[in-house]
Amino acid sequence: MKNVIHVKPQQMINAFLVFFVVHTTQIGVGIHGFQRIIYQESKQDAWFSVLVIGIVSHVIVIVMIKTLEMYDSHDLYGINREVFGTWIGNFINVIYFFYCSVAFFSVLINYIEVIQTWIFPLLSTWFISATLLLLVIYTFLGGLRVIVGVSFFSFMLAFWLIFVLVFPLQYSDPQSLFPILESKFIDILKGAKAMTFTIIGFEILYIIFPFVKDKKNIRKPVHYGLLVTTLMYLAVILVSLTYFSGEQLSKTIWATLSLFSIVQFPFLERFEFLAVCFWMLIILPNLCLYVWAAHRGLTGMINISAKKFIWLFSCIVLLLTFFIKSRIQINSINNIFGQVAFYIVFIYPLFLYVLALVKKKLTS
């Protein structure tokens, strides 16, 4: 059991905080415009797709926790090494490391694109990316407790945004949801698969598990976190489906932001200006947790200090953002990443669980 992670009690977090971790990692840039992608597949039954992927995520999490409990105090990287041996295990870990890094990168460039499109067309990419990276570095160097703290406050301070949906609800027409279940079942599943990029994030559980103080109580917060996310997506998709016409929805890239733009207060109009900037608080835990997960993977393989790693990582990410120029590039990155993420987040845990079971049976 050489892959056991020894965590000092000060670095541990309470189980119920995993609720915030799971939820805030799931909600990120995907929610800005997932409606169009699902609508292309399952039309007005898009909300079924959300429901399906929500339920699937619950199932996957059950499997994840079962696997993790089999190897107490291991994270995914440790389990990989334990199950596949050092060489193949490390190879998979490298893939997972790159997965986390690409997740980080795609969240970053998507947010940069939203900022540039909606508010500051002339603000340079490198500036936005450098400032965000500095915030990430500052958080990351505080350790896991600070990262979890950021995700806690991110949830607490941004939760009210969901109630802003009341404004577009006034103009929505429930008729556009009908006829229900007209799409083929396979289309609904395709829509669910297209949701991958939006709903992933709960795989952070694999990495954060050894850092949880009371591991027995972890199920409840994780499932509540998933449930809140699913309900939130469901609310957003239902409002979007009823507010926009089908034709409109398939042409709106950031449907959620378009929903925000009709919000009006006596002292404030064009709410999306505020919302897009406020979104920084929502993507911050995303970025921090992914880079933390990547760091966990790397420290298992090579000896690198957290400080060195984060600066190196940030520099590379900053350089890479220079190559991203157009919407098409970002879209293709999202698509490819979504495809890969589907296998890593939804298929691999099942595979790993079965293998771990078999291995345990064989050795005992």
Partner 1 sequence: MGTPKFMSKMRIEKNAKTYSRKKEKMGRSPMSNKFFKNMFKKKESKQQAQSDSSSLKNKSINNHSHDKKLISPDKAKFISLIEKESNNPSDLKTKFITEDYTLFYIENLVDSRVLNKHILPVVLKNPNSSPSELKFQLQIPEANMTENLELAILELFSGAALIHKNGYPTVLLAKINTRESRSLSAPENESQVIGSQVGFNESLSTNESLVRRYIRTPDLYIKKLTVGKISNTTVSILYLKSIASEEMVQTLQQRITDLKIDALLDSSFLAEMIDDNSLSPFPQMLLTERPDRFCDGLLNGKLGILVDGSSMAVICPHSFIEFFQSREDQNLRWPIASFLRLLRFSAVFLSIFLTPLYVAALTFHYEVIPQSLLVPLSESRALVPFPPIIEALLLELIIELLREAGARLPTKVGQTIGIVGGIVIGTAAVQAGITSNILIIIVALSALASFTTPSYMMGNVIRAIRFPIIILAGFWGFYGIMLGFCFLLIHLIKQSSLGTPYTAPFYPPRWVDWRDSIIRLPLPLTNLRPTSSRAKKRKKYEEEPIDPEKS
Q: Does 88 bind partner 1 (CB under 8 A)?
A: no
- Does 360 sit near partner 1 (CB under 8 A)? no
Q: Helices (DSSP H) in the chain: which residue ranges? A: 17-26, 34-42, 46-70, 76-118, 125-140, 144-158, 166-169, 185-194, 196-199, 205-208, 219-243, 246-249, 255-260, 271-301, 306-321, 327-341, 348-363
For residue 293, the Cα-to-chain-centroid distance in whole angstroms is 12
Q: Which of residues 6-35 bind partner 1 (CB under 8 A)?
A: 13-14, 16-17
DSSP label of 174: G
Q: 85 Cβ partners below 8 Å, 6+ apart? A: none
Query: Residue 128, interface with partner 1 (CB under 8 A)?
Result: yes
Residue 56 in tokens: 């699937």
**Residue 214 interacts with partner 1 (CB under 8 A): yes or no:** no
Stretch that binds partner 1, among 89-97, 182-190, 264-272, 325-333 (CB under 8 A): 264-272
Q: In the bound complex, what is the minimum distance in angstroms from residue 341's beta carbon to partner 1? A: 26
Q: Which one, 152 or 309, has the nearer CB to partner 1?
A: 152
User: Binding of partner 1 at residue 153 (CB under 8 A)?
Assistant: yes
Q: Is 115 in the site for partner 1 (CB under 8 A)?
A: yes
- The answer for residues whose C-beta is within 8 angstroms of residue 136's C-beta and 6 or more apart is 284, 287, 288, 291, 310, 314
Among 109, 133, 150, 317, contact with partner 1 (rule: CB under 8 A): 150
Of 204 and 284, the one with the shorter C-beta distance to partner 1 is 284
d(CA 169, CA 327): 30
Site membership for partner 1, residue 126 (CB under 8 A): no
For position 146 contacting partner 1 by CB under 8 A, the verdict is yes
Q: What are phi and psi of 265, to 5 degrees?
A: -120, 165
Residue in the block written with tokens 């064009």:
270
Nearer to partner 1, 128 or 238 (CB): 128
Out of 55, 231, 277, 315, name the contact with partner 1 by CB under 8 A: 277
306 interacts with partner 1 by CB under 8 A: no
Rounded CA separation 134/129 (Å): 9
Residues within the interface to partner 1 (CB under 8 A): 2, 13-14, 16-17, 86, 115, 119-120, 123, 128, 131, 135, 138-139, 142, 145-146, 149-150, 152-153, 156, 264-271, 273-274, 276-278, 280-281, 284
